[in-house]
Structure 1
């Protein structure tokens, strides 16, 4: 704050003690002064270096204040046009944003602001974004805001070359990382029209290998199902897939279900769910689907029995 003179600005007050006020917020005097200055500058739309500095102070104490983010963007866009080196100016702004990002991992306004800056940038670089993305995901591998931004970057830069290897590394560290599995599916959705049979076969084997490691993992089974549905016209290995899933459920499909307590334990209820869903799509195998859903309801996933009964009713 000492860098610039704000003595000519009359802070706009933060109104308190209103007639119908239920709970008065006890702002500190420093906070009221800072916000009062910011409100005053916003009211006259001052687009200056001191206004930019003030927004940094406000974001430091109130990082979720989306109005100040929008104001900072307007200042940056204006000052960029007056700069002799637009690229350096915007890179400096991104450098500042990196520091804010590291200190505010759950703040979604940051990522919207980054998108806006990259859209302004004459030569934006995905390579520049990768380190901050890595740091943030290393800190919290399931941070929704960071993953959403990474998806946006892939589309914005039309660059997916890092994604399979990156998700493989994360899945190696934590096979239950649903965010990594979801991002991996995002990759294939964007390449569904150009993926080769060899690539698809390799990915199918990759998924089955991961399921073998931890059969009771909803993330890998959901991915397996999604991958099958996405490429059902290209993957002609239905019998192999069914045989693979069946290997995790012992012989329960051939056993009577009137005595649930006599049914054996199985390696994966998700394998049974996968088979039920697979069989329900074909009228010729819907009886098998009903049996599988019934087994889930009475023995292997009774907590969701209402869902399984609903699916059975849809088949009848």
Structure 2
């Protein structure tokens, strides 16, 4: 245990008499934070300060001031000893251990970014195991996915991403995070028209497996909007219509609306028809059907869409 007899802890409480709600800190928390505040104020960048920040983070993982202090200590010691790469590697190993117990802590991922940006020889390969482990634990962890996107751009390495997202989609076709990541990859890797055609075929296969999946229909729409200037070909319109019993093409009374395979396919078609002068009535029929039977919980939204057409 490091000796802090020479340090006077700073108080972490205001001691005001009229405090609305006084926090009941433990003695350990009060002493540890008090010491850390004192060292930070004194500008001490030492091994004992580094160890102390680890203890603070174990008690308060979201304390971003201490994360910043730890970063300054690590870089100071690394520069002083002339071992920047080695010091950052050790720190990244330490962060990975902390990560396992704090999967939703966004400070961790920002901290890793800062370290990698200072590393003389950063490696995406090094980050992949912890990323896979964390996503396996929670496939929709926003902080982990955001860090993975950051890594892809930082290292300019897209080689793992489509196969990885495909693996997750095969496990769970409803995994919106995986579909979103897949779109991110295409938007940043400048695919050609052949690649987009193949991707549309890929999406159609997934839709046929589970037609009532909003993630896949949103992804399909994103492909056309981002890469084909929202120019929907007749084949994709026919494909979507195959899941709607053609309710968008005829006037139906609410009582005789047929069953359909996908309300999302109907919305997909309505969005297309709304911008075609000779198909606006088809769009209105689609929105009315969604409003009355297929997705009435969003009735106000569908009525708003109709008002935009008229």
Q: Same fold (TM over 0.5)?
A: yes
1:1-316 alignment, distance < 5 Å: 2=1, 4-15=2-13, 17-192=15-190, 195-233=191-229, 238-257=233-252, 259-316=253-310
Alignment deviations for residues 111-152 of structure 1 (CA, whole Å, 9 cap, x no partner): 000000001100101000101100000000000000000001
**Post-superposition offset of 1:237:** 6.4
> Kindly tell me: are residues 281 and 191 of structure 1, through their superposed partners in 2, closer, same or farther at Cα, counting changes over 3 Å?
farther
Give the CA deviation at 1:14: 2.1
RMSD across aligned positions (CA) = 1.4
**168-177 or 75-84, larger mean C-alpha shift:** 75-84
Does structure 1 conserve the Cα–Cα contact (< 8 Å) formed by 2:249 and 2:285?
no
Give the distance between the partners of 2:47 and 2:278, measured in 1 at CA: 71
Question: Following TM superposition, by how much is the alpha carbon of 1:292 offset from its aligned partner in structure 2, in angstroms?
Answer: 1.1
Q: How many residues align?
A: 310
Deviation at 1:101, TM superposition (A): 0.7
**Residue deviations 1:164-212 (CA, integer Å, cap 9, x gap):** 00000000000000000000000111123xx223211111100000000
Q: Distance in 2 between matches of 1:14 and 1:179?
A: 40
Where does the alignment leave 5 or more consecutive residues of structure 1 unmatched? none
- Is the 8 Å Cα contact of residues 103 and 134 (structure 2) preserved in structure 1? yes
Contact 1:69/1:109 (<8 A) preserved: yes
Cα displacement string for residues 258-301 of structure 1 (whole angstroms, at most 9, x for unaligned residues): x2121111000000000001111222322221111111111111
Is the 8 Å Cα contact of residues 248 and 283 (structure 2) preserved in structure 1?
A: no
Query: Which string of whole-angstrom CA distances, capped at 9 and with x for unpartnered residues, describes residues 73-121 of structure 1?
Result: 1111111101232211110000000000111000000000000000110
Q: Distance in 1 between matches of 2:284 and 2:137?
A: 44
Deviation at 1:5, TM superposition (A): 1.6
Q: CA deviation at 1:27?
A: 1.2
- Whether the aligned pair in 2 keeps the contact of 1:255 and 1:263 (CA below 8 Å) is no
Q: Contact 2:240–2:265 at 8 Å: present in 1 too?
A: yes
- Provide the rounded CA distance (Å) in 2 between the counterparts of 1:281 and 1:163: 34
CA distance in 1, matches of 2:35, 2:179: 46
Larger deviation, residues 144-153 vs 23-32: 23-32
Q: Distance in 2 between matches of 1:296 and 1:232?
A: 27
Larger deviation, residues 247-256 vs 177-186: 247-256
Larger deviation, residues 110-119 vs 195-204: 195-204
- CA deviation after TM superposition for structure 1 residue 236, in Å: 7.4
